[in-house]
């Protein structure tokens, strides 16, 4: 009898050990135009995000985390490659109004770039991209040619391909008219929904898109529970126009924008539940963040930057400082006030996965492994802020210097580019809203930051602007 009990115990321990993987799975949840102040854990008073709050409490909440750019295409290029978009052509030029890719754009992320998916494939990972891509809609630039094994999503922004119905993409172009309809629908925009390289729905039903993205991730986790996997979930929302499914429409105190965020949060809960169900919650690392700040001209549809200045399209803090939550896989819980960036995600995943480091090109990201796992200080102490092909601002430690300032876009009114004779300087530890210029008190700080710019430019090989090539109808 005793021997039977011992055998049973040994078998039980064996089965438990079999369920615990010796690798880390990775999930990136990347929102479109969500601002620093749009989550309850980051101070929003009425938007309810219980699942993200749970991740924030159990994992690491970063308070000074930056996207690679203040607009969509270059930001996504930066995340997936760990390189500033100035290095791969996914950023516009001064004499070109295009800051992102469009449905008539000819190019996309260069084949020579190495993505997270391609690096993880080297050590046996399967990868899936769900959601917005925006790194080239032509076949050769889509996810399947960038290391991913499966793709389901909209290839560019959800406000593109507007139909000739009086509904435009922007403020002053009939945007608000669509919300005068009795029923919320997405038939004003002829955006395609792709599965792998094929269009399966056009126009995509965006009222259900958030739900379908989350369901696809859950399905993928079920099918790949015994595999190493990387999931890149890039939500199309809350980029305008806003849509929510019937289950969430009108449910938030914060209006339609709140509906959208709360439905995304619900999807996060579905993913967390499935990971736990499959016994993968302890060996899966989730990163939740945004591609840039809120699109402020759209008012209640554009989100909030909280206490930060300006929003999407600018190099002020509201343009690139974004929420960032790391959860799971041995992460030491806490609030991290050190600097971090979406540029750091690739080198972090590379180190944790055991993949070989990239040594044949300059990376602008740092591995955050020691901060995430051991609670050590962040290795990042600098951040360079580009708009198109010029450095607009640089952060060093607690200080940020602005050399050029400009508003987001030319609507609702034209914004002026101002090249400053004397840089502005702010201490972001005590002035995150960038209200009080202290440049006159700290010329030595400005000199140190100037040296950072000079060193950066010395090693910089400008890549041709690939966003300027468009085929006009």
Terminal CA-CA length for the chain:
82
Catalytic residue among 18, 23, 44, 134: 134
Radius of gyration of the chain, Cα coordinates, nearest whole angstrom: 22
Catalytic residue among 72, 169, 239, 402: 72
Place of tokens 């997936």: 80
471, with CB counted inside 10 A (0-12, 13-18, 19+), is exposed
Cα-flanking dihedrals φ and ψ of residue 378, to 5°?
Answer: -65, 140
Active site residue 170: no
Strands 418-427 and 399-405: antiparallel
Tokens of 62: 């970063």
Strands 126-131 and 150-153: parallel
Place of tokens 């046996």: 124
Instruction: Yes or no: say if 102 and 123 are a contact pair by the CB < 8 Å rule.
Output: no
Instruction: Yes or no: say if 5 and 264 are a contact pair by the CB < 8 Å rule.
Output: no
Tokens of 92: 């516009």
Active site residue 402: no
Tokens of 71: 């607009």
Q: Is 166 left (phi over 0), alpha (psi -120 to 50) or beta?
A: left
Residues marked as catalytic: 72, 134
């Amino acid at each position: 009898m005793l021997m039977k009990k011992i055998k049973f115990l040994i078998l039980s321990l064996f089965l438990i050990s079999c369920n615990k993987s010796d690798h880390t799975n990775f999930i990136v949840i990347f929102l479109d135009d969500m601002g620093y102040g749009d989550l309850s854990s980051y101070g929003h008073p009425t938007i309810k995000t219980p699942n993200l709050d749970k991740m924030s409490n159990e994992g690491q909440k970063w308070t000074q985390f930056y996207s690679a750019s203040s607009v969509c295409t270059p930001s996504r290029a930066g995340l997936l490659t760990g390189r500033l978009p100035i290095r791969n052509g996914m950023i516009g030029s001064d004499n070109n109004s295009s800051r992102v890719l469009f449905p008539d754009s000819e190019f996309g992320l260069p084949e020579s770039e190495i993505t997270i998916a391609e690096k993880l494939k080297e050590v046996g990972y399967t990868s899936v991209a769900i959601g917005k891509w925006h790194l080239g809609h032509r076949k050769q630039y889509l996810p399947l040619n960038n290391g991913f094994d499966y793709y389901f999503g909209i290839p560019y922004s959800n406000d593109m391909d507007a139909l000739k119905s009086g509904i435009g993409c922007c403020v002053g172009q009939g945007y608000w008219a669509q919300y005068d309809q009795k029923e919320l629908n997405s038939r004003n925009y002829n955006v395609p929904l792709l599965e792998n390289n094929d269009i399966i729905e056009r126009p995509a039903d965006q009222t259900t898109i958030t739900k379908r993205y989350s369901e696809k991730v859950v399905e993928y986790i079920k099918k790949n529970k015994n595999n190493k996997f990387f999931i890149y979930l890039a939500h199309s929302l809350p980029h305008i126009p806003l849509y929510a499914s019937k289950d969430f429409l009108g449910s938030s105190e914060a209006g339609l924008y709140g509906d959208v965020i709360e439905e995304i949060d619900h999807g996060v809960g579905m993913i967390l539940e499935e990971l736990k169900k499959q016994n993968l919650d302890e060996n899966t690392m989730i990163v939740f963040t945004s591609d840039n700040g809120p699109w402020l001209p759209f008012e209640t549809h554009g989100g909030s930057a909280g206490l930060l200045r300006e929003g999407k399209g600018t190099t002020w803090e509201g343009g690139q400082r974004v929420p960032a939550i790391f959860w799971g896989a041995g992460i030491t819980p806490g609030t991290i006030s050190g600097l971090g960036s979406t540029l750091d995600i690739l080198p972090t995943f590379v180190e944790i996965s055991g993949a070989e480091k990239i040594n044949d090109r300059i990376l602008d990201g740092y591995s955050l492994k020691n901060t995430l796992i051991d609670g050590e200080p962040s290795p990042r102490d600098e951040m360079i802020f580009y708009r198109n092909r010029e450095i607009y601002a640089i952060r060093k430690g607690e200080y940020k210097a602005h050399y050029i300032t400009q508003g987001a876009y030319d609507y609702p009114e034209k914004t002026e580019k101002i090249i400053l004779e004397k840089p502005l300087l702010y201490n972001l530890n005590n002035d995150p809203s960038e209200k009080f210029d202290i440049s006159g008190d700290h010329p030595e700080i400005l000199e140190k930051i100037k040296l950072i710019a000079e060193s950066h430019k010395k090693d910089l090989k400008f890549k041709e602007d690939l966003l300027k090539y468009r085929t006009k109808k």
